[in-house]
């Protein structure tokens, strides 16, 4: 055990602290800034700080020590003591909780501190100290008490799909300035592969398959100052989609790796690197290639957020003629009842949650467009097999559960990502166009990843009346506000994601009434 602070002499320490505290405040945009060649004096908190999984009495605090973020972290093999403190004021005059966490090489010198014993529904500030260096401060918030009946509105953002090469994270700068209670990330936090067209910056290295490579990829993304700002401003709830591991993978199958055992080794490395970089509790730590990350998150009586995992337990693709899930296809296999996107166990859990006495609102946070979407031009039908249309029976079961939920007084919203477009959709039980309305879906665009053409969006809108609004020419994210009477959703659009300081504005605003699901377009 090395305690960097205890090993340093007082004089060196105080000089270093002075230098580093100034650096910590200004170096967010310059993760590679170094003061001098002395290892202990280098910036340690290059990846910022984060908090997540807010409960009514606490949250998870995260950071990772990484003086050489793109070369394995640069921390060596020794464990390091890291002090953390939580205050109920921005100036840290009233520290209400503190402790020490041990950052080890096994988890790339990341820490996941589970703070408990705090008060519900209020802001806190936190920071870390290690080796005489102090991290930037983060702000976070506890959830309201579980039995809190207050009609205080709840506000959150949801986002997905942030290809580093395809744009800057201006959307996150905008998000960080919003009055939010929390943020939900729906996956594609990193991309494993490159997209050659219209790059504004580049991945280092090729497609990761080893733990060290996944770590460096996360570090590249997390060194981004605008992403760090959104993490430092609110607690996040995160799930993953495919690109955290490999494009369009399903369970143990990836088009890129023929042998499932070999692919599971890649998945294990990818899941571990995900854990090391996310503000999630030790309970979500992978065991080999398995990690349980789905679950319910309660925000008083206002909201039950049901966060799902759409990749780990999926049935393999069907109806494909080639190896890719992208070309449109159709065949009876896609309707097979045994096919599942969540897997039997997670499906059963979700059905149980939806059958329980409802909060005012229920948000099912899940990776990809749930609404049926015939994407083929002309009179023929064609579906994207990596989406819910490849798992039609499982979708019908989910819509049945949502119908039962509504019958019990529940009000369900579905928050989705993955498809690099903004969509608002009416979700009906049974027939997608004629059945009874049971829930309302919003797909919150992509932070940077490029989307389908205007022609393909227009075609989807024309063929699928349940899709009430669609745009794919802008990147961005969604803001949702829930209160006792209704819900409002804003689509925030980045003017030009190829510019780091691009303006961001509201492109469309929707409302959903409690007790009456369905999309109402308020303005666009």
Q: Which residues bind Fe ion (CB under 5 A)?
A: 161, 188, 449
Q: Which is nearer to Ca ion, 134 or 475 (CB)?
A: 475
Q: Which of residues 453-512 bind Ca ion (CB under 5 A)?
A: none
Q: Which is nearer to Fe ion, 121 or 187 (CB)?
A: 187
Q: State the nearest-atom distance from the C-beta of 289 to Ca ion, in Å.
A: 19
361 CB contacts (<8 Å, ≥6 apart)? 154, 302, 303, 304, 411, 412, 413, 482, 487, 514
516-524: long-range pairs with CB below 8 Å, 24+: 516/437, 517/406, 517/411, 517/412, 517/426, 517/427, 517/437, 517/438, 517/439, 517/440, 518/426, 518/437, 518/440, 519/424, 519/425, 519/426, 519/440, 519/468, 519/469, 521/424, 521/468, 521/469, 522/488, 524/469
Q: Which is nearer to Ca ion, 192 or 241 (CB)?
A: 241
Q: State the nearest-atom distance from the C-beta of 250 to Ca ion, in Å.
A: 12
Residue 285 CA to residue 302 CA, distance in Å, equals: 29
Number of residues that bind Ca ion (CB under 5 A): 4
Binding partner of 5, given Ca ion, Fe ion, none, CB within 5-8 angstroms per partner class: none
Q: State the nearest-atom distance from the C-beta of 367 to Ca ion, in Å.
A: 6
Q: State the nearest-atom distance from the C-beta of 451 to Ca ion, in Å.
A: 12
Say if CB 423 and CB 467 are below 8 A apart. yes
Q: State the nearest-atom distance from the C-beta of 232 to Fe ion, in Å.
A: 24
Residue 369 CA to residue 363 CA, distance in Å, equals: 14
Q: Which is nearer to Ca ion, 124 or 423 (CB)?
A: 423
Q: State the nearest-atom distance from the C-beta of 217 to Ca ion, in Å.
A: 16
Q: Which is nearer to Fe ion, 51 or 247 (CB)?
A: 247
Q: Which is nearer to Ca ion, 174 or 188 (CB)?
A: 188
Q: Which is nearer to Fe ion, 5 or 241 (CB)?
A: 241
Q: Based on the shown chain and the rule CB under 5 A, indicate whether residue 309 belongs to the binding site for Ca ion.
A: no
Q: Which is nearer to Fe ion, 58 or 187 (CB)?
A: 187
324 CB contacts (<8 Å, ≥6 apart)? 248, 255
Q: Based on the shown chain and the rule CB under 5 A, indicate whether residue 241 belongs to the binding site for Ca ion.
A: yes
Binding partner of 372, given Ca ion, Fe ion, none, CB within 5-8 angstroms per partner class: none
Q: State the nearest-atom distance from the C-beta of 242 to Fe ion, in Å.
A: 8
Binding partner of 68, given Ca ion, Fe ion, none, CB within 5-8 angstroms per partner class: none
Q: Which is nearer to Fe ion, 161 or 385 (CB)?
A: 161
Binding partner of 242, given Ca ion, Fe ion, none, CB within 5-8 angstroms per partner class: Ca ion
Binding partner of 441, given Fe ion, Ca ion, none, CB within 5-8 angstroms per partner class: none
Task: Please provide the DSSP assignment of 136-188 as one string.
Answer: PPEEEEPPPPTT------EEEEEE----TTT---HHHHHHHTS--SEEEE-S-
| Interface segment toward Ca ion; rule CB under 5 A; list 185-193, 311-319, 353-361, 454-462 | 185-193
Tokens of 15: 């000089």
Binding partner of 385, given Fe ion, Ca ion, none, CB within 5-8 angstroms per partner class: none
Q: State the nearest-atom distance from the C-beta of 444 to Fe ion, in Å.
A: 12
| Interface segment toward Ca ion; rule CB under 5 A; list 184-192, 306-314, 447-455, 509-517 | 184-192
Q: Which of residues 242-271 bind Ca ion (CB under 5 A)?
A: 242
Q: Give φ, ψ of 123 to 5 degrees.
A: -80, 150
Sort residue 161 into left (φ over 0), alpha (ψ -120 to 50) or beta: left
Q: State the nearest-atom distance from the C-beta of 417 to Fe ion, in Å.
A: 7
Say if CB 271 and CB 245 are below 8 A apart. yes
Of the candidates 111, 127, 118, 14, the one whose C-alpha atom is nearest the C-alpha of residue 56 is 118
Binding partner of 449, given Ca ion, Fe ion, none, CB within 5-8 angstroms per partner class: Fe ion
Q: Based on the shown chain and the rule CB under 5 A, indicate whether residue 386 belongs to the binding site for Ca ion.
A: no
Residue 445 CA to residue 423 CA, distance in Å, equals: 8
Residue 439 CA to residue 414 CA, distance in Å, equals: 7
DSSP lists the bridge partners of residue 154 as 482
Tokens of 405: 């939920």
Q: Which of residues 400-419 bind Ca ion (CB under 5 A)?
A: 418
Q: State the nearest-atom distance from the C-beta of 458 to Ca ion, in Å.
A: 22
Give burial (CB, 10 Å; 0-12/13-18/19+) of 517: buried
Q: State the nearest-atom distance from the C-beta of 367 to Fe ion, in Å.
A: 9
Binding partner of 111, given Ca ion, Fe ion, none, CB within 5-8 angstroms per partner class: none
Q: Which is nearer to Fe ion, 82 or 161 (CB)?
A: 161
Buried b (16+ CB within 10 A) or exposed e, 191-204: bbebeeeeeeeebe
DSSP lists the bridge partners of residue 115 as 59
Q: Which is nearer to Fe ion, 120 or 445 (CB)?
A: 445
List of residues contacting Ca ion (CB under 5 A): 188, 241-242, 418
């Amino acid at each position: 055990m090395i305690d960097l602070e205890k090993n340093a002499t007082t004089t060196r320490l105080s000089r270093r602290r002075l230098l580093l505290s100034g650096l910590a405040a200004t170096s967010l945009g310059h993760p590679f800034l170094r003061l001098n060649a002395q290892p202990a004096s280098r910036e340690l908190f290059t990846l910022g700080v984060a908090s997540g999984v807010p409960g009514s009495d606490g949250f998870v605090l995260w950071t990772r020590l990484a003086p050489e973020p793109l070369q394995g972290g640069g921390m060596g093999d020794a464990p390091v003591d890291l002090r953390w403190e939580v205050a109920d004021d921005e100036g840290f005059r009233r520290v209400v909780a503190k402790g020490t966490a041990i950052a080890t090489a096994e988890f790339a010198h990341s820490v996941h501190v589970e703070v408990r014993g705090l008060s519900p529904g209020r802001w806190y500030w936190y920071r870390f100290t290690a080796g005489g260096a102090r991290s930037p401060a983060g702000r976070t918030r506890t959830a309201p008490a579980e039995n809190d009946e207050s009609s205080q509105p709840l506000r959150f953002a949801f986002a997905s799909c942030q290809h580093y090469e395809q744009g800057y994270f201006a959307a996150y700068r905008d998000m960080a300035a919003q009055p939010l209670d929390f943020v939900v990330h729906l996956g594609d936090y990193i991309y494993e592969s490159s997209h050659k067209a219209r790059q504004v910056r580049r991945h280092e290295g090729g497609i990761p398959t080893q733990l060290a490579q996944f770590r460096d990829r996360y570090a590249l993304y997390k060194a981004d100052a605008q992403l760090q700002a959104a993490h430092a401003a609110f607690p996040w709830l995160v799930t993953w989609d495919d690109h955290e591991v490999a494009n369009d993978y399903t369970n143990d199958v990836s088009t890129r790796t023929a042998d499932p055992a070999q692919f599971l080794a890649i998945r294990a490395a990818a899941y571990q690197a995900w854990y090391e970089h996310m503000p999630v509790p030790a309970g979500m730590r992978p065991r080999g290639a398995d990690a349980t990350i789905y679950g319910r998150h309660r925000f008083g009586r206002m909201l039950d957020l049901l966060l799902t995992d759409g990749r780990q337990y999926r049935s393999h693709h069907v109806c494909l003629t080639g190896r890719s899930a992208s070309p449109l296809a159709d065949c009876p296999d896609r309707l097979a009842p045994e096919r599942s996107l969540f897997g039997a166990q997670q499906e059963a859990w979700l059905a149980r949650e939806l059958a329980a006495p409802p909060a005012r609102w229920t948000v099912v946070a899940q990776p990809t467009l749930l609404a049926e979407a015939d994407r083929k031009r002309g009179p023929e039908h064609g579906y994207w097999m990596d989406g819910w249309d490849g798992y039609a029976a499982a979708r019908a079961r989910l819509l049945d559960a949502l119908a039962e939920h509504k019958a019990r007084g529940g009000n369900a919203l579905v928050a989705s990502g993955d498809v690099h477009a903004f969509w608002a959709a009416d979700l009906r039980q049974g027939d997608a166009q004629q059945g009874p309305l049971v829930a309302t879906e919003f797909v919150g665009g992509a932070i940077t990843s490029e989307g389908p053409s205007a022609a393909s969006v227009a075609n989807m809108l024309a063929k699928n009346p349940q899709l009430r609004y669609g745009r794919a020419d802008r990147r961005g994210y969604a803001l949702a506000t829930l209160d006792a009477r209704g819900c409002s959703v804003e689509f925030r659009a980045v003017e030009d994601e190829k510019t780091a300081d691009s303006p961001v504005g509201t492109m469309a605003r929707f409302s959903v009434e409690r007790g009456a699901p369905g999309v109402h377009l308020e303005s666009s």
